Amino acid sequence: MENILQWISANQETIYIVILMIFVGIEVIGRVPSVLHTPLMSGANAIHGVVIIGAIIVMGKAESDNYFALGLGFLAVVLGTLNVVGGFVVTDRMLEMFKKKK
Amino acid sequence: MELHILTLCYIIASVTFIIGLKMLSSPATARRGNLVAAAGMTIAIFATIFLFREDDGKKLHNYVWIFAGLIIGTIAGTLAAKKVKMTAMPEMVSLFNGMGGACAALISAAEFYHTYKINQGAVDTPFSSLVGVGQYITIAAGAIIGTISYTGSIIAWGKLNGRIKDFSFKGQHIVNMIILVLVIGAAVWAYQSAMGNIYLPFILIGFFAFIYGILFVMPIGGADMPVVISLLNSFTGVAAACGGFLYNNKAMLTGGILVGAAGTLLTILMCKAMNRSLTNVLIGSFGGGATAAKGEGGTKTQGAYKEISLADAAMVMGYANKVMIVPGYGLAVAQAQHTCHELEKILGEKGVEVKYAIHPVAGRMPGHMNVLLAEADVSYDKLLEMEYANDEFATTDVVLVLGANDVVNPAAKNDPASPIYGMPILEVEQAKTVIVNKRSMKPGYAGIENDLFFQPKTSMLFGDAKKVLQELCAEVKNI
């Protein structure tokens, strides 16, 4: 019990961020029309590609002669980049279709 | 100094994610919103590469590897995203989502391996005395959620492009539950194992999560895939946030949680658009419901349907005052949107008023039809949303249904036993005549019969949407 309490107070900053972000996330897309559901899903998909930062850190920390760690990190960077770049480009292509409003 | 700039960059990135998401939820600003978020992401990535410092002040190295990975990913991602057909967009999103999930899982694996490596000497020390509970939970959660998101997305991708068929067996939900328990069990076991024999439990965590992702998506009907993708999308968000926890990285944390929360709400909103609940989508797999309905109403006589010839169809439409086109997935598959626009123009020249009735979930993703018709330059004011379209059907002479099925199925209104009961539909049977273009009499995606096709005012026009529309164009011109 004390462990948990300690952990909470040690990480309170993070916990605050999590709670506030949950509300921001809900608030921000609360009134989206159904036409935009798919582009929004796709855009959100690109945003969670932020996980690429973690991949870069893993890659950059690995010792240069540790090929297993390098391989893992490299794969993570490639996949993360696919997520980010592919995600944003696909979203842009979807939304391109909406701009021809007359 | 550099570290302060890094912090600033992360703050900017977090703000652009929020603003980008906000702008994405309104049609006028959506495209710019996407670019805003992309710009923030670019800043965060390059700031990390050049400014990040480890706890002991060391800079990152292996730049060659990092840039090689970034370049390969960028080229492959751009090509894939540019080449994909409009109809295959949802699959593409699912695939990219899977990549993100796999990335999160790999980070956890690498972090785990890193801990193992630096404590290699201490074979007998339990893992729990080397890593704190909080840190371990984030590593394990990242691995589990990331893996589930990865396999789930791949299955969803396979279902959308037809490579994987729906599959469920009796008691599957119980099996799923057991596997989920096994995942958590393996995670607990790994935490208590000694350093020397920790490989097996850690691999088991990944293995069970892998299986769970597959079994979780397998029984859900293909028509519900957008909802599943949206849900897995929010999973990946949470997995990314776990990485943020692990590295105390605020950009990852805010981005991940933001997507986790927004994705969950979006999933619920999508279910609402179909007038179903999330549990209904996840547990009440469509196949089961439909067989039950068939069992009850199986003896109900369907009657006969009648076919209409191309020439007759052209005649009816050419002399109508008002024609309403109801596009569906069939139109998207046949890539017939341009031909459809052509027919609309020809009819327009003959003085026929032509409009489109758009059901919010027609096709394989919400907004699919709007995107498709916009591609063919169909003017926006011709597209009627469901509520407006339903007001106009009574004054419509001919409704042309192009490869849509479930969204015009009157069972959603009349038959409480139907699995789609309660879903708002386009009430096309109010019009004077209904012409339905389908490839065959096979039921639609939800796998249920459609009474509309057997009504006296309905005629069927079989064939591929594009071919039929081309021939219709020619016939209407000749009138």
Residue A5 at interface with chain B, using a CB cutoff of 8 Å = no
pLDDT at B290: 40
ipTM score for this prediction: 0.94
Share of residues in chain B with pLDDT > 70 (%): 95
H helix and E strand count, chain A:
6, 0
Across the interface, whether the CB atoms of B249 and A57 are under 8 A apart is answered yes
Rounded Cα distance between B61 and A60, Å, is 5
- CATH code matching the domain that covers B310-478, chosen among 3.40.50.1820, 3.40.50.1220, 3.90.550.10, 2.40.50.140: 3.40.50.1220
pLDDT at A73: 92
Residue of A nearest to B44 (CA): A53
Across the interface, whether the CB atoms of A29 and B258 are under 8 A apart is answered no
Catalytic one among B377, B391, B406, B415? B406
Band of residue B442 on the pLDDT scale cut at 50, 70, 90: confident
Across the interface, whether the CB atoms of B113 and A69 are under 8 A apart is answered yes
Across the interface, whether the CB atoms of A41 and B102 are under 8 A apart is answered no
Residues 6+ apart with CB under 8 A from B152: B98, B101, B213, B214, B216, B217, B228, B232, B235
Given a cut of 50, whether residue B287 has pLDDT beyond it is no
Enumerate residues 8 to 37 of chain A having a beta carbon within 8 A of any beta carbon in chain B: 11, 14, 17-18, 21-26, 28-37
Q: Is B253 helix (H, G, I), strand (E, B) or coil?
A: helix
Higher pLDDT, B50 or B334: B50
Band of residue B74 on the pLDDT scale cut at 50, 70, 90: very high
* Six token digits for residue B214: 């597959």
Q: Which one, of A74, A79, A77, A75, lies nearest residue B80 by Cα?
A: A79
Mean pLDDT score, B188-211? 90
Rounded Cα distance between B342 and B373, Å, is 12
pLDDT at B296: 37
pLDDT at A81: 97
State the DSSP H helix or E strand holding residue B460, giving kind and residue range, or none if neither: strand B458-462
Across the interface, whether the CB atoms of A50 and B107 are under 8 A apart is answered no
Q: Which amino acid is located at B27 in the chain?
A: P
Across the interface, whether the CB atoms of B273 and A34 are under 8 A apart is answered yes
Band of residue B291 on the pLDDT scale cut at 50, 70, 90: very low
Which whole-number Å values give the CA distances from B391 to A46, B52, B57, B361, B395, in the listed order?
38, 59, 68, 19, 8
Band of residue B160 on the pLDDT scale cut at 50, 70, 90: confident
What contacts 24+ positions apart, CB below 8 Å, involve B62-69? B62/A59, B62/A60, B62/A62, B62/A64, B62/A70, B62/A73, B63/A60, B65/A59, B65/A70, B65/A73, B65/A74, B65/A77, B66/A56, B66/A59, B66/A60, B66/A77, B68/A74, B69/A55, B69/A59, B69/A73, B69/A74, B69/A77, B69/A78, B69/A81
Given a cut of 70, whether residue B55 has pLDDT beyond it is yes
pLDDT digits (tens, 9 = 90+) for A60-100: 888 888 888 899 999 999 999 999 999 999 999 888 876 54
pLDDT at B444: 65
pLDDT at B297: 38
Mean pLDDT score, B75-91? 88
Rounded Cα distance between B108 and B136, Å, is 10
pLDDT digits (tens, 9 = 90+) for B91-127: 899 999 999 999 999 999 998 888 888 887 777 888 8
- Cβ proximity of B22 and A28 under 8 Å: yes
Across the interface, whether the CB atoms of B269 and A53 are under 8 A apart is answered no
pLDDT digits (tens, 9 = 90+) for B201-242: 999 999 999 999 999 998 887 778 888 999 999 999 999 999
Q: Is B224 among the residues known to form the active site?
A: no
Pairs of residues, one from chain A and one from chain B, whose beta carbons lie less than 8 Å apart: 385
- Residues of chain B in contact with residue A5, where contact means CB-CB under 8 angstroms, are none
Residues 6+ apart with CB under 8 A from B101: B145, B146, B147, B148, B149, B150, B152, B153, B232, B235, B236, B239
Of A61, A92, A96, nearest to B54 by CB-CB distance is: A61
Of A48, A77, A85, nearest to B259 by CB-CB distance is: A48
Which whole-number Å values give the CA distances from B218 to B112, B224, B333, in the listed order?
30, 11, 23
Residue of A nearest to B235 (CA): A48
Given a cut of 90, whether residue A49 has pLDDT beyond it is yes
End-to-end distance of chain A based on CA atoms, in angstroms? 63
pLDDT digits (tens, 9 = 90+) for B354-405: 999 998 878 777 777 887 888 788 887 888 888 888 989 989 999 999 988 8
In b/e form, how buried is each residue of B195-211, taking b as 16+ CB within 10 angstroms? beebeebbebbbebbbb
Mode of pairing for the β-strands spanning B353-358 and B322-327: parallel
Mean pLDDT score, B309-332? 89
Given a cut of 50, whether residue B286 has pLDDT beyond it is no
- List the domain boundaries for chain A: 1-31, 33-102
Mean pLDDT score, B444-473? 84
pLDDT at B370: 81
Among B12, B21, B24, B63, most A C-beta atoms within 10 A, so best to mutate, is: B24
How many Cβ atoms sit within 10 Å of the Cβ of residue B116?
A: 15
- List the domain boundaries for chain B: 84-282, 310-478
Mean pLDDT score, B335-352? 90
Higher pLDDT, A49 or B449: A49
Distance from CA of B299 to the nearest CA of A (A): 38
pLDDT at B371: 78
How many Cβ atoms sit within 10 Å of the Cβ of residue B4?
A: 9
Band of residue B445 on the pLDDT scale cut at 50, 70, 90: low
Average pLDDT, chain B: 86
Given a cut of 90, whether residue B172 has pLDDT beyond it is no
pLDDT at A85: 96
